[in-house]
C-alpha cells in the first residue's frame, strides 16, 4: 500500500488547498509513513490521532517566525492526517483515540488496517492510486515544465493550478 496513500493524499490536498508553495513530496511522505508500522507488527502510534497532532505541534513550535519553512514542513502532518482518513483508522476507536479511551495495550495487537484487506482489493486500491497520480502528473506537467520545481522543492507551477 504505497500508491493508494501517496496518490490520493496528493490529489486531496492539492484540490483542497490549491497551494503552489506547499511541499507535496512531504504530504506524500506523511501519507505513507504509517505504512511502516506494518513491518513492526501492527498499528502503533502512527495510526492514532495523537501522532499527527504531535507532529503538527512540533512543526508549529519549531518554525515560529519562519513562515516558508513552516509551510514546507506542514506537509508531513497533513499527509499523516490523510493516511488516517484513507486507511480507515478512525473505524477502530481504541486505536484511533489511543490513549484517550484508556492506555490499554491495544497498539501492535493486530494487523495495520491497510493490510487487513484481501489481495485483489489491495491491488485495485494501488491501481487507483497510480491512476490518480498519473492523472495529476499529466495535468500539472510534472514530467515537463514543472518537473524541476517539483523534484527540487515539491511545489507545483502556479499557472498549472489555475487551469
Domain ranges within the chain, ordered by starting residue:
3-161
The DSSP symbol for 103 reads -
pTM of the model: 0.89
Alpha helices in the chain (DSSP H): 3-17, 24-32, 50-62, 67-73, 75-87, 93-96, 119-139, 147-153, 158-161
**94-146 pLDDT, tens per residue?**
777 777 776 666 565 666 677 778 999 999 999 999 999 999 999 999 999 99
What is the percentage of the chain residues whose pLDDT exceeds 90?
63
Nearest to 83 by CA among 9, 135, 136: 9
Amino acid at each position: 500500500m504505497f500508491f493508494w496513500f501517496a496518490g490520493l493524499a496528493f490529489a486531496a490536498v492539492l484540490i483542497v488547498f490549491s497551494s503552489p508553495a506547499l511541499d507535496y513530496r512531504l504530504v506524500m511522505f506523511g501519507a505513507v509513513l504509517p505504512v511502516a508500522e506494518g513491518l513492526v507488527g501492527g498499528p502503533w502510534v502512527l495510526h492514532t490521532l495523537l501522532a499527527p497532532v504531535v507532529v503538527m505541534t512540533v512543526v508549529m513550535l519549531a518554525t515560529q517566525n519562519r513562515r516558508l519553512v513552516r509551510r514546507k514542513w506542514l506537509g508531513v502532518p497533513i499527509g499523516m492526517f490523510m493516511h488516517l482518513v484513507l486507511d480507515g483508522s478512525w473505524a477502530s476507536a481504541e486505536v484511533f483515540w489511543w490513549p484517550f479511551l484508556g492506555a490499554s495495550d491495544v497498539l501492535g495487537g493486530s494487523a495495520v488496517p491497510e493490510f487487513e484487506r484481501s489481495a485483489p482489493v489491495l491491488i485495485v486500491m494501488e491501481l487507483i492510486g497510480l491512476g490518480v497520480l498519473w492523472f495529476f502528473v499529466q495535468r500539472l506537467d510534472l514530467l515537463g515544465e514543472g518537473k524541476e520545481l517539483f523534484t527540487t522543492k515539491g511545489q507545483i507551477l502556479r499557472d498549472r493550478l489555475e487551469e
